[in-house]
């Protein structure tokens, strides 16, 4: 149920960001929400207060309003946070941000991939991988890169539930399966 709620709020925010005449940039909105999330993680007392049903919504709004000035947050993100406060959905903020990114990507015709490599990749290598993923999917690709040393070498890309394993670890696993006839 929380995932469905997160998507409901994410779709509403995406509607506002992508409506004709809107000057909001989806990436900037995401960055502002992430900034607010980092602030909550750094100030656990603030996070607990915003998530507590015993703290009045008006007090939460006042605190977020002052905080929004110092971060700074756009009026759109500020109003969106007020909606989350009013409906007691602040604990869903991380899920809403992730859902928002997915909704924006879908509406803009983008595909997001998680790419793991055994070592840090150069900008040129990253560009080639993103281009290859775009050709595979027929859509513009965006990738989140991370290093996983246990891959030994190569790259593993995940788009949704599809995994493209070009790692040495994956090749060794496949070779072992063929040699032993055992799947694991």
Tell me, yes or no, whether 18 and 89 share the same domain.
yes
Supply 145's token pair.
Answer: 């890169």
Q: What is the pTM of this model?
A: 0.73
Tell me, yes or no, whether 10 and 87 share the same domain.
yes
Tell me, yes or no, whether 13 and 94 share the same domain.
yes
**Cβ–Cβ under 8 Å, residues 68 and 84:** no
Distance CA 49, CA 63 (A): 10
For residue 105, pLDDT over 60 is answered with yes
Domain boundary residue among 62, 78, 105?
105
Tell me, yes or no, whether 144 and 101 share the same domain.
no
Tell me, yes or no, whether 55 and 82 share the same domain.
yes
Tell me, yes or no, whether 80 and 117 share the same domain.
no
User: Which pLDDT does position 1 carry in this prediction?
Assistant: 65
Tell me, yes or no, whether 23 and 81 share the same domain.
yes
Tell me, yes or no, whether 68 and 153 share the same domain.
no
For residue 132, pLDDT over 60 is answered with yes
For residue 182, pLDDT over 70 is answered with no
User: Which pLDDT does position 160 carry in this prediction?
Assistant: 80
User: Which pLDDT does position 184 carry in this prediction?
Assistant: 54
**What's the structural domain count of the chain?**
2
Tell me, yes or no, whether 97 and 142 share the same domain.
no
Domain boundary residue among 105, 132, 162?
105
CATH at residue 75: 1.10.520
For residue 141, pLDDT over 60 is answered with yes
Tell me, yes or no, whether 147 and 119 share the same domain.
yes
Segments forming the whole domain that contains residue 66: 2-105
User: Which pLDDT does position 41 carry in this prediction?
Assistant: 93
Alpha helices in the chain (DSSP H): 2-18, 26-42, 44-51, 57-70, 75-86, 93-107, 123-137, 168-180
Query: Is the torsion defined by CA of 50, 54, 60, 61 positive or negative?
Result: positive
């Amino acid at each position: 149920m929380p995932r469905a709620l997160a998507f409901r709020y994410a779709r509403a925010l995406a509607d506002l960001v992508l409506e004709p005449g809107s000057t909001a940039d989806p990436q900037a909105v995401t960055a502002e929400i992430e900034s607010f999330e980092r602030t909550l993680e750094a100030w656990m007392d603030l996070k607990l207060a915003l998530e507590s049903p015993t703290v009045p919504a008006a007090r939460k709004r006042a605190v977020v309003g002052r905080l929004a000035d110092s971060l700074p947050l756009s009026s759109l993100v500020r109003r969106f946070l007020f909606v989350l406060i009013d409906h007691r959905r602040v604990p869903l903020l991380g899920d809403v941000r992730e859902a928002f990114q997915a909704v924006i990507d879908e509406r803009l015709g983008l595909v997001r991939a998680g790419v793991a490599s055994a070592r840090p990749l150069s900008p040129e290598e990253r560009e080639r991988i993103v281009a290859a993923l775009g050709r595979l999917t027929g859509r513009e690709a965006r990738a989140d890169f991370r290093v996983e040393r246990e891959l030994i070498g190569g790259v593993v890309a995940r788009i949704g539930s599809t995994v493209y394993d070009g790692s040495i670890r994956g090749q060794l696993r496949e070779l072992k399966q063929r040699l032993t006839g055992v799947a694991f």
